[in-house]
Each structure stands twice: as structure tokens, then as C-alpha cells.
């Protein structure tokens, strides 16, 4: 939308004092103009998110809920990368994108009319990301702004801010470098009331990864209930500023109110008739303690009501009438439950408002796992299972915010049988991913440092029974399971879910806070406030509400009431297990070794040869960090120690001296030489130039074999520590004689460098047979004469020619410098040794042919190229 033909933009300037200013800009009228609402949000003109809000033209049929969908689309070009998938395009959303979807949904959904049935879709497209910022808060503000200008019935806008407790000060919109030193982080979303006050709608909070060290080693303030409540209050001026900017944008560029139909949940007369039929029965049924027994009785009541109403309200279509009857019964249950709590202080299971359900804790419940525990609170039952592995098993996460290596992995599962129902099993849903992330955040601050406990940890929470707050039950079960596995946690963590029931009478609203809520209290109540922490400070918070806002005094009271419950839960857990258990024999042994950074290459070896060899020989896994830290993981401690010693031998070994003769093992044979292992991690190259006098038509593989032990002499060592080898005289002699004691193969005699090699033809047989073979040959070739000087065609190359000077002078060769026959080939003594005249005639015939023009050269059997 443009104002006077121009793009409309508003700004909110966040002043952090000595930490500088941040500028959040909202702009509309340039992109996605066909959407009902479109806003481009910028943070410091570096991060950029396009938010669109679109509403369906017609109500969704057979729908009894608000059909709101929030999607976050991460474009990898936002961080200058090409997607790594086969098709090089973005695929399913990352975990970060899913968590942002949930954050936006939880913040905006309570502000829409719950009777709206038109489909709503909010899409956040991440176009650019500054490496120093996360896009979650920017996306939430953009989503609220695009919804505000779309003309929908919406009680917004919503302003959102992230606060980080850094060096004792709360910092708004912190950069990633500043967040690394944060003791605690708060994400708070809120709206402006009719009186212009800020009311909080959503909270997402967690202690920093290094919170424990910052608190205990650097005397940073611990994030207890008082400090966190203070942070919630300090967030309100920033929320107000962001809401005012969105209101200004709506005033300048907002569309007219869009006509949508709000469907009543039921007919008022039908509701009264249903209430007369079943109110008393529902009142009694809701006081049944057991979930399954209560559900069975409620189902009987529903069937009874449908039967009684079969002949009534015939003007309403049958299917619609059934839906309205069900909605009426649900509303009656809600009113009865709230009256019991607000007026009588009585809950469904008979507990007081601040009472916990019965708790049991048990460890070591599954054999052959590294750690396991079962935590049960009432009918909520969570099985925690821990698996330890090498750091190589750490989870690698790629997103537009960068690559993250996550050593602690937490996964939450809730199968349909946990509620006594059937359902589809498949990939984890957004709720499961969100719960797993919350539990991971709650436990991360108390995990041991990597140097102290060099393991990757996979923690799985199986919610096998559900009746309220399986996520906080997962926190407790995970703590027990980690301790059972031998993980030295810095402190145990427990969690509890707090609820809220409110009643507005005139201008006054009364509130009742509930401790450890049931599933039905979550469904019919106004708030689900999850609180996790140690005995000393909070580690994670999550607030979901169905109200437009929750007063700050109610939130503060809920935090202190949750602490009392948390301390009681921790005492039960400590009775089950107080100290970390010994590591199971099934857990791999991990040894740690620190080496100088300049030695990393030596340990790894050429193309990873050393590391791969050690892993193969000792059945272990070796992980090498950039700082020179080496982790050796082995199932057998003896194997791990062998790998440890092998690496130490590489580090402690010294380079040999030039001229030193060593025995080594041939490890690799190439076309340019032989690699010989001299010591662990130290190889030398015996270049082909050092052994060429022994080849003479043979391949290197004929002389050397992998795994063979040979003596070598260190010829030189360059500046990079690369060793060049040669064969010492004592080792060279072994190749002059027969390599087969009973058979004659070849013999070589080294001549002066400017001359050639002396080669005798290959012969297989015993010595006596060989001597009889040599006699006719020696009659033609005088062994005492040696050809020197020029090249004599295809028979040159160092073969000895026999005969007297007169005999040789009878043949006057032409200049073969231009001859195609010169300098290659091998002798065929057998063809001419019996008749020298035939040999001489052959040479003359060949020379005559060579004088002819090249185009007339005959390619007959005498031609070397054939």
C-alpha cells in the first residue's frame, strides 16, 4: 500500500545505551501487493523478512476451530549459500523455522475471534540475515504488522522483544556475540490494552549455555524469580514502542475492514435445552478423579443428550445440530469446572489449588541402555532414555542463521496410545519438536563441559501416558535418566506447569493460579505456564495463554508458586538418585589428548591415512578439533589405549637424520616411486629416479610389494618435514642377484651415468642350461667389447655387441638422428645370432628403405611402429 504513490515505512529505534542502538523498520507497498497484508521488516537494514497475511474468501466447512496456519520459509540465498540438497533448492523447514512458526502462532492466535472460520495464512519469507542476528523476533513483529493492515478482526498489534541479561544488565535486541555471554534470555510478546498499558501475551525464556559458569565463576546475577520478573517489566517500554509503530503503519496504509462471517458456536435456545438435560450429570462426572473413568461417563452423557435432542430443533440440519450439541456440552463442562475452582477452590481430582499430584520416580528401568528412568506424576507418565556416543555423533544443524553443532540432542515423542486413542504414526509434528526444544533448553545450562565429559548425548522422552504437562514431566525424567547414565550434571532440574482460571465481574477480574495442571484444566483454563529450573535459578519458561493478556502480578505470583512445587519435586527425585551413577560397560570409553596445532597434520596423515589406519586397527573413532584436542572413542578400553599410544608416538617421534639407514615398510606403490613407512605417522618417498637403474623394462611392482620390509637411507628432508629416501648399497645389492634361489630371472650391472645399462635377456632354467644357452651367443658377441657413443637404431640401449672391430666395421650405419627407429625397441638376438651375413643384409635393406621419401615408407614386418 502506498501513501500518495509512495512506499509507507515506520521505524522503532531501540536504545541500549552503551551497547548502541538498533533500528527496526516496517515497510509496506513495495512487495507482494496482492496479499491482504504485506510488510517488509528490516533490522539495521541488514536482516530482511517479508511477511504476508492472506484470508480465504469463504468459511471453511465442517470446522470448529480457528483455521490459522503460520509458515516460515528460509531462503538460503539470505545468507549467501546454495542449498546442499540434491536438487539445490530449499526443502522441509528447519527446526529453527518450526520453532519460529510456533512462537508466532502462540502470540497471535488468542487475538483472533475463535468463531472465525475463514482460513488464515501467515507466511514469513526470510530474505536476508545478518550473521550477528536471529530472525525470530523480526518475523514476529512483521507478522503482527501484516495482519494489522489486512483488515481482519484482530486485537493487535503485538510487539515482541528479546532481552538478554548480560553482565547484570538487560539488553534489548542483543547480537549473537552479546548473547554468548548472556545468563538468561527472555522473548516477550505483548499488546496495548484500551488504557494504553502493555499486557504480556507470550513468554519464551531460557538460561544461557554458559549460565552456570557465569554465575559461579564470574559472580553474574542468577536468574531467579525476582530477576526474571524484573526483566518482564523492563520489556514493556520496548513492546509499547513497537506496537505504536505498527499502529502508525496501520493508520497510514491499513485496508478497510474485511467482511468475514463469525459463526456462533451454538444456538442460544439449543444451549439452554442441553443445559437442562445434562448440567447435573456433568457436574457429578467432572468430579470423577480418574481420566479414563471420567471420559467414559462423559461419553455416556453425550450419547444421552443426543438421543434426547433427536426430535428437537428440526429446523437445524442434522449434522450442524450434532456439532452445536457437542459444542454446548463442552461449554457447560468449562463453566462447571471454572465455578468449582473460582467459588469452591475445588479441582477435578480433589486437590487444592497449589497441590501436586502423587509423584513416583524410578531409574534403570530398561536393560542395555546407557541410562533410563520413569517419572510419573498422577496419570502423566514419561520414560526417559539416555544414549552416549563420541562427539562425532553431535547433531549438525544448517540454517540461514548458520551452522550449529549440537552436542546435546533432546527428542520428545508422544504416541497416540498415551491418551488412550488411535492415531497416525509418522515424522514428529510441530508440537513434539517444540516440546523437545523446550526440555533441551531447560537442561543445557547444567550439562557438564565438553572437556569434563567429552560425550555426545541423545536424550529421548517418551510420553507414554498423558494427563497434563508431559513436557515438564520430560524435564524430570530426563534429569533422572542422565544421572543414571553417569552424566555429571551440575544440578538436577525439575519442571511444573502452572494454570490459570479467571473471572471478570464488571470491571474487575479475579484470578486463581493452579499448580500442576491436568489435561482438562489446560483445555478449559486460561493459561499454561511451564516453569523449569534448579533449586537456585530458573532454566526455562514458556507461557501460552487464551486471554488477551496476563497481568504482571499474576505472572510473578505464578513464578513463586511454581518454585515451591519445584522444590518438592526435586526432593522426590533426589531420593531416587542423588549422585551420577558409574558409566555402564555399554558406554564407549573416550580418551582425550591435547597436541600442538602444528602436529595435527602429522596425526591425520596424507589424506587421513594415519587416522583411518588407527580407527581400523583399534576399532575406535577419532575426532580431532581445530585447537588440537583429540577424542578417542572405543568400546574396548584396551583398544582406546592402543590408539592413544599410537598418536602419542607420532607426536613424540623425531625426524631421522640425513644419511641414517632405517628399516621401513612399503605402504604404497605409485608410478613415481615407493612410499615407505619409517615410524608411526612418518612416511618417506623412494623416488623412481633412485631405483631406475634396477627397472630396465620392469614395473616397480615387480621389485617391491606392499607390506614388504626394506632398508632405506634418508637422502634429504625438506622444510615441511617431507623425507626423500634412497636405497643404501647394502640394500641395492639384493636386487643384483636372483630373487628366486632356484631360477635365473635377470641380472643388472650399473655402468657410468653417461653410458647405458647392461642387460642380459630373460632366461628361465637352471645354471647349467643357462651356460649352454650362452655359448652360441658369445661366439657372435664378444663380451669384452662394449659399444659406446652413438645410437645404433632399435638395437641400441646398452646391449653388448660381440665380434671383432673388423666385423663391426663392415657395417657403416647412416646418421639415425632423424630415424624413426632410433633409441627404442628390444634386441632379437635369436633371429640373427646364427648368421652374421643375414644380419648385415637386414640392416642394409632397412637403411635403403629409410632413404626413401617418407610417404613411401613401407610398413612391413621390419617396421618398429607395426
Q: Describe the crossing of helices 268-285 and 318-339 by its angle, rounded to 10 degrees.
A: 50
> Average pLDDT in the 544-552 region?
84
The Cα 198–Cα 63 span in angstroms is 33
Helix, strand, or coil (residue 861): coil
Cell 543414571 locates to 484
Whether the upstream peptide bond of residue 156 has omega within 30° of 0, thus cis, is no
Residue 783 near residue 800, CB atoms below 8 Å: yes
pLDDT of 5 = 55
pLDDT of 801 = 44
b/e code 259-283 from CB counts within 10 Å (16+ = b):
ebeeeeebbeebbebbbebbeeebe
How sure is the predictor about 652, in pLDDT bands with cuts at 50, 70 and 90? confident
How sure is the predictor about 820, in pLDDT bands with cuts at 50, 70 and 90? very low
What is the helix, strand, coil percentage profile of the chain, to 5? Answer: 35, 25, 35
> Average pLDDT in the 524-551 region?
92
The Cα 548–Cα 114 span in angstroms is 12
Neighbouring residues of 2: CB distance < 8 A, sequence distance ≥ 6: 8, 29, 253
* Chain centre to alpha carbon of residue 482: 21
Q: At 339, give phi and psi (nearest 5°).
A: -65, -45
Which residues are registered as beta bridge partners of 671?
none
With vertex at residue 580, the alpha carbon angle to CA 577 and CA 585, rounded to the nearest 5 degrees, is 115
| Cell reading at 225 | 524469580
Which span out of 317-331, 557-571, 758-772, 773-787 was modeled with the highest average pLDDT?
A: 557-571
> Average pLDDT in the 716-729 region?
84
Residue 187 near residue 203, CB atoms below 8 Å: yes
Domains along the sequence of the chain with CATH: 2-253 (3.30.230.70), 268-344 (1.10.10.400), 359-576 (3.30.230.70), 588-652 (3.30.1370.10), 748-856 (no CATH)
The Cα 541–Cα 553 span in angstroms is 16
Q: Output the average pLDDT for the chain.
A: 85
Which of 67-71, 95-99, 429-433, 692-696 is predicted least confidently?
A: 692-696
**Residue-wise pLDDT tens digits, 674-710:** 999 887 767 889 998 888 888 777 888 888 888 889 9
| Cell reading at 406 | 549440537
**Residue-wise pLDDT tens digits, 448-460:** 999 899 999 999 9
| Cell reading at 45 | 537494514
Helix, strand, or coil (residue 863): coil
Residue-by-residue DSSP string for 525-566: SSEEEEEEE-SSSEEEEEEEESSS-B-HHHHHHHHHHHHHHH
End-to-end CA gap in the chain: 83
Decide if pLDDT at 363 tops 90: yes
> What distance separates the 2 farthest-apart alpha carbons in the chain?
140
pLDDT of 568 = 97
How sure is the predictor about 206, in pLDDT bands with cuts at 50, 70 and 90? very high
> Average pLDDT in the 88-102 region?
93
pLDDT of 866 = 40
Which of 128-137, 258-267, 765-774 is predicted least confidently?
A: 765-774
| Cell reading at 368 | 542395555
The Cα 322–Cα 299 span in angstroms is 14
pLDDT of 71 = 97
Decide if pLDDT at 782 tops 60: no
The Cα 102–Cα 114 span in angstroms is 18
The Cα 673–Cα 715 span in angstroms is 14
Is residue 801 exposed (0-12), middle (13-18) or buried (19+ Cβ within 10 Å)? middle
Which of 288-302, 464-478, 845-859 is predicted least confidently?
A: 845-859
| CB atoms near residue 74 (< 10 Å) | 23
| CB atoms near residue 308 (< 10 Å) | 15
b/e code 75-85 from CB counts within 10 Å (16+ = b):
bbebbeeeeee
Listing from the earlier edge strand, what are the strands of the sheet with 508-515? 169-172, 158-166, 182-192, 198-207, 538-545, 527-533, 494-505, 508-515
Neighbouring residues of 185: CB distance < 8 A, sequence distance ≥ 6: 162, 163, 164, 165, 174, 179, 205, 206, 207, 208
Q: How many C-alpha atoms does 416 have within 13 Å on its Cβ side?
A: 6
pLDDT of 369 = 96
Q: At 640, give phi and psi (nearest 5°).
A: -65, -40
Amino acid at each position: 500500500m502506498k501513501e500518495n504513490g509512495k512506499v509507507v515505512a515506520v521505524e522503532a529505534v531501540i536504545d541500549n545505551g552503551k551497547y548502541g542502538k538498533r533500528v527496526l523498520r516496517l515497510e509496506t507497498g513495495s512487495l507482494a501487493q496482492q496479499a491482504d497484508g504485506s510488510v517488509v521488516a528490516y533490522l539495521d537494514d541488514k536482516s530482511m523478512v517479508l511477511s504476508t497475511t492472506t484470508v480465504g474468501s469463504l468459511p471453511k466447512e465442517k470446522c470448529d476451530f480457528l483455521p490459522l496456519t503460520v509458515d516460515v520459509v528460509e531462503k538460503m540465498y539470505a545468507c549467501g549459500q546454495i542449498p546442499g540438497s540434491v536438487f539445490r533448492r530449499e526443502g522441509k523447514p528447519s527446526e529453527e523455522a518450526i520453532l519460529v512458526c510456533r512462537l508466532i502462532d502462540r502470540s497471535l492466535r488468542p487475538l483472533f475471534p475463535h468463531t472465525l472460520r475463514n482460513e488464515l495464512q501467515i507466511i514469513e519469507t526470510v530474505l536476508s540475515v545478518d550473521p550477528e542476528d536471529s530472525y525470530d523476533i523480526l518475523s514476529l513483529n512483521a507478522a503482527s504488522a501484516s495482519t494489522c493492515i489486512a483488515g481482519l478482526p484482530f486485537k493487535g498489534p503485538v510487539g515482541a522483544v528479546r532481552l538478554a541479561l548480560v553482565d547484570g544488565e538487560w539488553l534489548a535486541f542483543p547480537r549473537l556475540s552479546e548473547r554468548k555471554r548472556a545468563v538468561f534470555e527472555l522473548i516477550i510478546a505483548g499488546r496495548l490494552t484500551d488504557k494504553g498499558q502493555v499486557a504480556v501475551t507470550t513468554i519464551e525464556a531460557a538460561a544461557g549455555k554458559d549460565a552456570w559458569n557465569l554465575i559461579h565463576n564470574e559472580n553474574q546475577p542468577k536468574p531467579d524469580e525476582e530477576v526474571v520478573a524484573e526483566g518482564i517489566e523492563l520489556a514493556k517500554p520496548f513492546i509499547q514502542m513497537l506496537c505504536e509503530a505498527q499502529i502508525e503503519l496501520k493508520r497510514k496504509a491499513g485496508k478497510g475492514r474485511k467482511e468475514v462471517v463469525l459463526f456462533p458456536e451454538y444456538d442460544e435456545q439449543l444451549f439452554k435445552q442441553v443445559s437442562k438435560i445434562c448440567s447435573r450429570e456433568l457436574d457429578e462426572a467432572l468430579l470423577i478423579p480418574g481420566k479414563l473413568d471420567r471420559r467414559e461417563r462423559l461419553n455416556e452423557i453425550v450419547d444421552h443428550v443426543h438421543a434426547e435432542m433427536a426430535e428437537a430443533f428440526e429446523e437445524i440440519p442434522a449434522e450442524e445440530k450434532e456439532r452445536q450439541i457437542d459444542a454446548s456440552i463442552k461449554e457447560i463442562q468449562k463453566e462447571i469446572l471454572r465455578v468449582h475452582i473460582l467459588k469452591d477452590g475445588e479441582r477435578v481430582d480433589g486437590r487444592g489449588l497449589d497441590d501436586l499430584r502423587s509423584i513416583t520416580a524410578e531409574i534403570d528401568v530398561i536393560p542395555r541402555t546407557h541410562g533410563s528412568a520413569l517419572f510419573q506424576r498422577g496419570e502423566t507418565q514419561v520414560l526417559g532414555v539416555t544414549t552416549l556416543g563420541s562427539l562425532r555423533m553431535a547433531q549438525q544443524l544448517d540454517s540461514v542463521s548458520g551452522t550449529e553443532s549440537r552436542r546435546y540432542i533432546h527428542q520428545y515423542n508422544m504416541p497416540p496410545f498415551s491418551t488412550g486413542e488411535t492415531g497416525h504414526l509418522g515424522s514428529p509434528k510441530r508440537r513434539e519438536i517444540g516440546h523437545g526444544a523446550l526440555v533441551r533448553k531447560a537442561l543445557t545450562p547444567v550439562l557438564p563441559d565438553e572437556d569434563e565429559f567429552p560425550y555426545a548425548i541423545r536424550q529421548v522422552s517418551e510420553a507414554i501416558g498423558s494427563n497434563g504437562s508431559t513436557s515438564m514431566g520430560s524435564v524430570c525424567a530426563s534429569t533422572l535418566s542422565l544421572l543414571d547414565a553417569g552424566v555429571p550434571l551440575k544440578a538436577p532440574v525439575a519442571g511444573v506447569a502452572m494454570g490459570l482460571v479467571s473471572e471478570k465481574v464488571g470491571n474487575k477480574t479475579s484470578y486463581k493460579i493452579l499448580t500442576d495442571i491436568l489435561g482438562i484444566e489446560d483445555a478449559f483454563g486460561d493459561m499454561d505456564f511451564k516453569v523449569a529450573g534448579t533449586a537456585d535459578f530458573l532454566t526455562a519458561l514458556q507461557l501460552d495463554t487464551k486471554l488477551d493478556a496476563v497481568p504482571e502480578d499474576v505472572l510473578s505470583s505464578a513464578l513463586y508458586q511454581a518454585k515451591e512445587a519445584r522444590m518438592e519435586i526435586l526432593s522426590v527425585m533426589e531420593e531416587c538418585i542423588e549422585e551420577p551413577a558409574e558409566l555402564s560397560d555399554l558406554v564407549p570409553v573416550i580418551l582425550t589428548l591435547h597436541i600442538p596445532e602444528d602436529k595435527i597434520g602429522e596425526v591425520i596423515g596424507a589424506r587421513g591415512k594415519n587416522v583411518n589406519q588407527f580407527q581400523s586397527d583399534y576399532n575406535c573413532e577419532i575426532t580431532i578439533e581445530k585447537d588440537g584436542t583429540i577424542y578417542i572413542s572405543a568400546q574396548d578400553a584396551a583398544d582406546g589405549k592402543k590408539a592413544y599410544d599410537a598418536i602419542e608416538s607420532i607426536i613424540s617421534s623425531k625426524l631421522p637424520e640425513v644419511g641414517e639407514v632405517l628399516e621401513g615398510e612399503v605402504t604404497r606403490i605409485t608410478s613415481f616411486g615407493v612410499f615407505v613407512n619409517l615410524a608411526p605417522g612418518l612416511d618417506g618417498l623412494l623416488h623412481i629416479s633412485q631405483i631406475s637403474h634396477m627397472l630396465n623394462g620392469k614395473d616397480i611392482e615387480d621389485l617391491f610389494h606392499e607390506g614388504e620390509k626394506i632398508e632405506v637411507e634418508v637422502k634429504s628432508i625438506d622444510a615441511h618435514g617431507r623425507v626423500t629416501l634412497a636405497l643404501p648399497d647394502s640394500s641395492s645389492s639384493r636386487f643384483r642377484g636372483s630373487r628366486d634361489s632356484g631360477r635365473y630371472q635377470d641380472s643388472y650391472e650399473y655402468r657410468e651415468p653417461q653410458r647405458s645399462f647392461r642387460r642380459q635377456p630373460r632366461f628361465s632354467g637352471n645354471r647349467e642350461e643357462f651356460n649352454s644357452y650362452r655359448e652360441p651367443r658369445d661366439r657372435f658377441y664378444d663380451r669384452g667389447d662394449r659399444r659406446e657413443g652413438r645410437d645404433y637404431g632399435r638395437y641400441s640401449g646398452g646391449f653388448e655387441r660381440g665380434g671383432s672391430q673388423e666385423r663391426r666395421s663392415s657395417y657403416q650405419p647412416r646418421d639415425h638422428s632423424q630415424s624413426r627407429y632410433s633409441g627404442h625397441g628390444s634386441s632379437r638376438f635369436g633371429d640373427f645370432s646364427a648368421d652374421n651375413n643375414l644380419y648385415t643384409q637386414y640392416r642394409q635393406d632397412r637403411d635403403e628403405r629409410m632413404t626413401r621419401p617418407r610417404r613411401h615408407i613401407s610398413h612391413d614386418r621390419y617396421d618398429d611402429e607395426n
